[in-house]
Amino acid sequence: MASVTLLRTKGLSRQFGGLKAVNDVNFAIREGEIRALIGPNGAGKTTFVSLLSGRIAPSAGSIEFLGNDITARPAHKRVRDGIAYTFQITSIYPMLSVFDNVALSAQSALQRSPGAKPAVIAAKAKEALEHVGLSDRLRDRAGTMSYGHQRLLEVAMGLALEPKLLILDEPTQGLSDGEIENFCRLVKEISRSATVLLIEHNMPVVMKLADTITVLNHGEILAEGSPENIRANAAVQAAYLGTG
């Protein structure tokens, strides 16, 4: 595994009124890693990744991506830098076809390469859909698909952006057991060319996929380590794994 730090936060914080949703978080993820971010509901996970992607601004602290300070960089420019974020709630274009949804992402990515032709955009879109198992749904209207397939479509849209860091927020929600197995194979494949940050409640998926697990609780890092270490951590069991 590469040892180059892809993204780092220092003292990252976000307050909403008197609520410290994210509090003084120091976090680093390496290139080529599959990192899982877990924690109980309300732990600050979605707020944290929204800070990383630029959807919200921090109250304090900094974010570095490939050694560059991106704390004040807007979300659309972070996408160009190589940070793609699939949302906890699907953000597809429901009236467009499955193909057109992904082609829009591919077109955005290829704008970095002057002279990108429609055929190249189409090929990139089809490749991304092939990866997630939706190549037979190209012409379907996106909004008519099941929730689980819409989640896979959103992953394909993220892949078409050719990200260096792909943030997946609750990607297995709404997927069947068979689809979850296929998703796990997909993430392993993605990790060959991109770093993956996975926010997930499905603990078997987390334990199967993650190289390292970061546990958030009350907006702070409670623990960090290998799946084996996290499973055995008494504080994590009390705060999260031992509940429900």
Mean per-residue pLDDT for 205-213? 96
| Burial degree of 156 (CB within 10 A; 0-12, 13-18, 19+) | buried
pLDDT at position 107: 87
- Is residue 100 domain-shared with residue 147, that is, in the same domain? yes
Confidence class for position 112, pLDDT limits 50, 70, 90: low
Structural domain includes residue 193: yes
pLDDT value at position 113? 60
pLDDT tens readout for residues 123-138 = 999 999 998 989 999 9
87 within some domain: no
Check whether residue 75 and residue 172 sit in a common domain.
Answer: yes
Residue 228 token pair: 């084996």
**Shared domain check, 140 and 203:** no
Mean pLDDT score across all residues of the chain:
90
- Determine the average pLDDT of the residues in 76-105: 87
Model confidence pLDDT, tens digit, residues 3-52? 799 999 999 999 999 899 999 999 999 999 999 999 998 899 999 999 99
Residue 2 has pLDDT above 50, yes or no: no
Last residue of a domain, one of 111, 137, 162: 162
Residue 89 lies in a domain: no
Domains: count for the chain = 2
Instruction: Output the domain CATH number for residue 35.
Output: 3.40.50.300
Range of the domain at 123: 95-162
> Is residue 110's pLDDT more than 90?
no
Q: Report the range of poorest mean pLDDT among 7-21, 22-36, 166-180, 215-229.
A: 166-180
Q: Are residues 127 and 229 in the same domain?
A: no
Query: Which of the two residues, 150 and 110, has the higher pLDDT score?
Result: 150
Please report the pLDDT score of residue 1 as a whole number.
44
For residue 244, name the pLDDT band (cuts at 50, 70, 90): very low
d(CA 32, CA 87): 21
The C-alpha atoms of residue 72 and residue 60 are separated, in whole angstroms, by 11
Average pLDDT over residues 157-179: 90
Same domain (yes/no): 55, 74 = yes
pLDDT of residue 138: 95
Partners of residue 141 on adjacent β-strands? 97
The residue among 107, 135, 162 that closes a domain is: 162
Same-domain pairing of 124 and 242: no
Asked whether residue 88 carries a pLDDT value surpassing 60, the answer given is no
Give pLDDT, residue 191. 93
Q: What's at 53, amino acid-wise?
A: S
188: tokens are 């392993």
Query: Quick one: pLDDT at residue 242?
Result: 58
Q: Are residues 78 and 170 in the same domain?
A: yes
pLDDT for 91 equals: 79
